[in-house]
Structure 1
Amino acid sequence: MDKQKQSRPIAGVGWMIVTGLMFVGVTAVVKHVGNGVPAAQAAFLRYLLGVVFLIPMIKPILDAHLTKRQIKLFAFRGVVHTIAVILWFFAMARIPIAEVTAMNYLSPVYVSIGAALFLGERLPPRRLAAVVVALIGALIILRPGVKAIEPGHIAMLGTAVCFAIGYLIAKQLSGEVSAPVIVGMLSITVTIGLAPAAIAVWVTPTLPQLGWLFLVACFATAGHYAMTLAFAAAPLTVTQPVTFLQLVWAVLLGAVVFGEGVDGWVIFGGAVIMASVSFITWREAVARRQITPPVTATKV
């Protein structure tokens, strides 16, 4: 299987490019909806309208006969992912697309830290240095004391942490249940988790807003599917660096469509974080174990 993956790097890169375009599409539509729908409600509608994509996953979930422990883990993952999604929608309406995209690269770094702290994974000096470099990349983006740190930036820091926690839980469950069960349970628990927050701030959405949020669900589903095909075609060491293109597209989208300025420091900081994540991924490949997720695995 490894040889087959190694023999299809072009396909892997191609599917990862498609993945990036789909997730940039998610970003663009959420940015377009903006403050017209409160963050919690927009996030809830994105998941509720995407329930149609859960239909093929119902049977695997029922056949899994989940234990109480597994249900508790799924519930906890649903809680942290719910918080992450609300914070992401909040940030998207308040700070430039490029900054949201660049800061989202931090999630795999937090996963490495969490795996060392809670799963007993080793954090050798070179990987620890790469983590420190990634955090320096975040400081380059934020530049505290040089520019104002907005609530959206704080929200994105929280988003990355919550996505990392959710991924670590999924990593534990991946050896016990199938991928459709993990994906389906996430969608179910997050939809339920978002409902109270959405009701608390509910405003009646227009038909166009519902249409845009359904498009978000379509883009997100297509992105995750394309990502699965990319992983099947090539190893992470090939596909991970390609995810940096998302930042390039996010910068272009923000500048051309939304009139956002191009901040070279954000691009530089994102490049530093992405280089660090790619190095960690390469080191894990050398050690023949995978803990750090691809950047695209921590998406709404």
Structure 2
Amino acid sequence: MHAVAWMSGTLVSFCLMAIGARELSGELSVFQTLFFRSAIGLFALLLVFLMSRRKTVIRTDRVGLTLLRNVFHFFGQYGWFVGIGLLPLAEVFALEFTVPIWTLIIAAIFLREKITVRKIVAVSLGIVGVLIIVQPGYAIIDSASFIVLAAAICYAISYTVTRALSVSESAFSILFYMCLIQLPIGLILSLEDWLWPAGEQWLWLLVIGLTALSAHYCLAKAMLFTEVTTVVTLDFLRLPLIGLVGILLYAEPVKASLILGGGLMLLANLISIKQPTKAREN
């Protein structure tokens, strides 16, 4: 029950963040939205740090990897936010579920993780799922789909680097430097089209900034109470949930191809994290 409760927080956080991004789409530039996301997140983390009785070490000796992670994570977020403004919410979330598939490929190349039949099957199913959703050759392919896929690849690189950083860095430290490094990047890139937020735009910026932190925090807490397989399965509930949000708030259609393709990607993700029997016995 604890895992379900924490995953519910994750699902609600991601959906609220998507709604906030959709509401600000066309009103503020994505770079400016990301700047305020980092500023609000950094302020919240500093408050937690100052109020905490146990001071977490936030120093890092792996500056190069930290910079690499956050550059790719920033542009992954950029592509995700752009996609939110151009595509149905459910399609963006479905394409985002390719991240574990790209991570498998990138980890095999750069971390020299072993390529197994199980991983090949997972990657193949994931690719088929993407093809079903994007439907190349069926109609003019929306370039926004490729922006989201590019964002998923950026996220995968970021996650691969995070895997290396997590050996020596705390989760709080990784989140802190995420906000600290991405703050000036967002500011510099937003200066050309800067507009001061007004009215309820501040509310949506606050929602995005806080849910960006709460989503990752709840996800990490859920993993303390259950297996990764269960977490991935519960996390996939984001797809029907955001589909329902799209229908109710934005009158978006949910296509059968999206459900089929998303289902294949869920299967691919479950296969990719399933441990071989011998590994479980050891």
Pairing 1:30–2:26 present: no
Matches within 5 A, 1:118-267: 118-267=110-259
SS in 2 for 1:287: helix
1:139 deviates by 0.6
Of 44, 47, 50, the match for 2:41: 50
Larger displacement relative to structure 2 (23-32 or 218-227): 218-227
| Structure 1 gap segments, 5+ residues each | 1-9, 289-300
1:195 deviates by 1.6
| Partner of residue 291, structure 1 | none
Over the aligned positions, Cα root-mean-square deviation in angstroms equals 1.8
Pairing 1:113–2:80 present: no
Q: CA distance change for structure 1 residues 285 and 114 in 2, over 3 Å: closer, same or farther?
A: farther
Q: CA distance change for structure 1 residues 160 and 140 in 2, over 3 Å: closer, same or farther?
A: same
| Partner of residue 297, structure 1 | none
Q: CA distance change for structure 1 residues 178 and 285 in 2, over 3 Å: closer, same or farther?
A: farther
1:284 deviates by 6.6
1:116 deviates by 0.7
Larger displacement relative to structure 2 (260-269 or 143-152): 143-152
Maintained 8 Å contact 1:101/1:247: yes
Q: Deviations over 1:104-127 (max 9, x none)?
A: 001111111111111010110121
| Structure 2 gap segments, 5+ residues each | none
1:285 deviates by 8.7
Of 26, 29, 32, the match for 1:41: 32
Pairing 1:60–2:83 present: no
Q: CA distance change for structure 1 residues 222 and 284 in 2, over 3 Å: closer, same or farther?
A: farther
In 2: Cα distance, 1:263 partner to 1:61 partner: 47
Q: Deviations over 1:206-247 (max 9, x none)?
A: 132122111111222222222122111111022211112100
Q: Deviations over 1:127-178 (max 9, x none)?
A: 1111111011001110011133223211101110001111111111111122
Over the matched positions of the two proteins, sequence identity in percent amounts to 26
Maintained 8 Å contact 1:237/1:285: no
In 2: Cα distance, 1:176 partner to 1:215 partner: 31
1:286 deviates by 6.6
In 2: Cα distance, 1:177 partner to 1:284 partner: 29
Q: CA distance change for structure 1 residues 178 and 50 in 2, over 3 Å: closer, same or farther?
A: closer
SS in 2 for 1:260: coil
SS in 2 for 1:175: coil
Maintained 8 Å contact 1:29/1:213: yes
1:192 deviates by 2.1
In 1: Cα distance, 2:276 partner to 2:38 partner: 33
Letter in 2 for 1:150: D
| Partner of residue 96, structure 1 | 88
Say how many residue pairs are matched.
275
Letter in 1 for 2:204: W
Q: CA distance change for structure 1 residues 84 and 57 in 2, over 3 Å: closer, same or farther?
A: farther
